[in-house]
Amino acid sequence: MGRIKTETKKLEIVKSIYRIISRKGLEAATLKAIGKEMNVAPSLLMHYFKNKEEMIIALVDYMVSQMERAYINEMKKFRTAKERLVFYLNRTLDLNVASNVDDRVFYTCFYLTMQNERIRESFIKMYDHDEKMISQLLLDYMKETEISGFDPKSFAIQITAFVEGFYYYKMIYGESEELKKSISRLKKTVFKELGLRNE
């Protein structure tokens, strides 16, 4: 019971940090500001996290869970590996998964990977998780359709790189027609290469 209460309180703290960074940036996410956001004494926060580094690591884990929520439950509705792969590719390449997390919060934390090894490891864990998921989707599809000639890990890295690249572009230039056309062309290429129809 005590552990459940602790995890619940930690999540409340993480959500408060998320809201503050989203509104005002990382510099504003002080213990005083977090305490004010939660209406508690700042000193109480240290009962749940040793330092701000641990809070940021927990925040990265929270963002991962938010992005997963964009498709995990819906993916369970599909009966075939092909349907799951098509759904995942559409949702991911259209940048819908990333939209479940505030850009300012995500890239603020991402910037910290260049300064903090523990936070970098947290992001590595996130990307490794994504890579395994994409690889498994492709492996299931290959087994179901008896096709071959694809390297699941290489495919996963390419999809991740394309999505991240498109998202950086979107942050700088906005949702331009050029970006939409580029995403559409990539989707056609990927679907054709895999022998999929985007239905």
Mean pLDDT over 133-137 rounds to: 93
Helix (H) or strand (E) holding 67: helix 52-68
Q: Is residue 54 part of a domain?
A: no
Q: What is the pLDDT of residue 98?
A: 59
Q: Are residues 5 and 65 in the same domain?
A: no
Interval 180-193: pLDDT, tens: 999 999 999 999 99
Q: Is residue 102 part of a domain?
A: yes
Q: Is 25 left (phi over 0), alpha (psi -120 to 50) or beta?
A: left
Mean pLDDT over 169-175 rounds to: 87
CATH number at residue 104: 1.10.357.10
Number of H helices, E strands in the chain: 10, 0
Confidence of residue 2 (pLDDT cuts 50, 70, 90): low
Q: Are residues 166 and 131 in the same domain?
A: yes
Q: Are residues 179 and 92 in the same domain?
A: yes
Q: What is the pLDDT of residue 3?
A: 65
CATH number at residue 19: 1.10.10
| Inter-residue contact 101 to 66 (CB < 8 Å) | yes
Q: Is the pLDDT of residue 17 over 90?
A: yes
Q: Are residues 31 and 116 in the same domain?
A: no
- Nearest-10 Cα torsion for 170, 172, 178, 183: -30
Q: Is the pLDDT of residue 91 over 70?
A: yes
Q: Are residues 149 and 107 in the same domain?
A: yes
Q: Is residue 5 part of a domain?
A: yes
Q: Is residue 162 part of a domain?
A: yes
Q: Are residues 110 and 177 in the same domain?
A: yes
Q: Are residues 72 and 43 in the same domain?
A: no
Mean pLDDT over 130-136 rounds to: 92
- CA 193 vs. chain centroid, Å, equals 25
When divided into structural domains, the chain yields a total of: 2
Q: Is residue 199 part of a domain?
A: no
Q: Are residues 188 and 150 in the same domain?
A: yes
Rounded Cα gap, residues 166 and 33, in angstroms:
34
Rounded Cα gap, residues 49 and 13, in angstroms:
9
Q: Are residues 79 and 24 in the same domain?
A: no
Q: Are residues 104 and 140 in the same domain?
A: yes
Q: Which domain holds residue 129?
A: 60-194
Q: Is the pLDDT of residue 197 over 90?
A: no
Q: Is residue 75 part of a domain?
A: yes
